[in-house]
Amino acid sequence: MKEILMSNSPSKTCDDCGMSYVPELQDNVLQHKKYHDKIVNGLRTSSLKSDNVIFSQNDKRVTVISQISPRVQRKRAEEVARYARKDTPYGAEQLFDYEMEVRVFLLHKEDRIIGLLLMDKRYHVWLANWVDLDAGKEPKEISQHPPIWTVCFVWILKKHRRLHLAKVLLNEALTYLGCHLEKIGWYTPFTDSGHLFVHSCCPEAFYIAK
Ligand SMILES: CC(C)(COP(=O)(O)OP(=O)(O)OC[C@H]1O[C@@H](n2cnc3c(N)ncnc32)[C@H](O)[C@@H]1OP(=O)(O)O)[C@@H](O)C(=O)NCCC(=O)NCCS
Ligand SMILES: [Zn+2]
């Protein structure tokens, strides 16, 4: 934001996207417009030949990306993740640059990407239940548990939340992976909305996986 520091004109911070800009600087106004649109409406995208579509209904589609997907797909998933991370203190820095198996599921609505689910395979597994967790009891690690698909990060664009879209995204991912909801892991800690979402998916017990 060099221009802002150099300008004597007052800057303004947008309540919706959080960007500070100087309304008197035309370049700055355009920059804000572009950024604002991405944050509020989602990344604009065109369908690619290499899209691996696993679900399509009305104006929504889910695509899946893995370590061996074309670079253009991995870069797109990483760009969505960069924006998603702005909403939470957590979230993976790198989506594909590590050894465990990874799948990224993107939720598209018309020509925008409005959701992301990052799942990876993890080896250290604990069985947790809400009653014990609320009482402050530590969950028990299950020794030698086979690796399980784990929800590492889930995100839906703000204006589309509470429409069960995270559930749709997760269900489609699980169908694709051939997993049952009760058998997957969840990476902790949770954000407040993450906590409520996991509670709704698994009302009694769930696996924590790291
Ligand atoms: C967590 C998140 C992905 C949920 O997405 P969503 O599409 O709004 O979730 P859904 O609509 O599928 O929610 C399903 C159920 O989860 C519960 N739930 C989810 N978010 C909730 C919230 N903010 N408040 C209360 N309950 C919530 C509800 O029981 C809901 O069902 P209901 O709407 O019929 O009551 C979304 O809030 C988000 O992107 N948060 C920011 C990123 C983040 O914190 N991710 C989690 C990292 S651990
Ligand atoms: Zn804005």
φ, ψ of residue 99 to 5 degrees: the values are: -75, -30
Provide the 8-state DSSP code for 138. P
Amino acid, single-letter form, for residue 210: K
Which residue's CA is minimally distant from atom 32 of ligand 1? 162
**Ligand 1 centre from 132 Cα, in Å?**
22
Mean pLDDT of 160-183: 98
pTM: 0.94
pLDDT at 90: 72
Place of tokens 């500070």: 20
User: Which residue among 120, 165, 197 is best mutated to probe the pocket of ligand 1, counting the most ligand atoms within 8 A of its Cβ?
Assistant: 197
pLDDT at 95: 87
∠ CA 197-198-202 to the nearest 5 degrees?
Answer: 125
User: Which residue among 80, 162, 181, 192 is best mutated to probe the pocket of ligand 1, counting the most ligand atoms within 8 A of its Cβ?
Assistant: 162
| Percent share of the chain, pLDDT over 90 | 87
CA torsion, points 63, 67, 71, 77, in degrees to nearest 10?
A: 50
pLDDT beyond 80 at 34: yes
**Ligand 1 centre from 167 Cα, in Å?**
9
User: Does 194 sit in the ligand 1 pocket, CB within 6 Å?
Assistant: yes
pLDDT at 88: 85
pLDDT at 98: 73
Specify whether the CB–CB gap between 160 and 125 falls below 8 A.
no
User: Does 53 sit in the ligand 1 pocket, CB within 6 Å?
Assistant: no
pLDDT beyond 60 at 77: yes
Spell out the domains of the chain, with CATH numbers in brackets: 2-41 (no CATH), 45-209 (3.40.630.30)
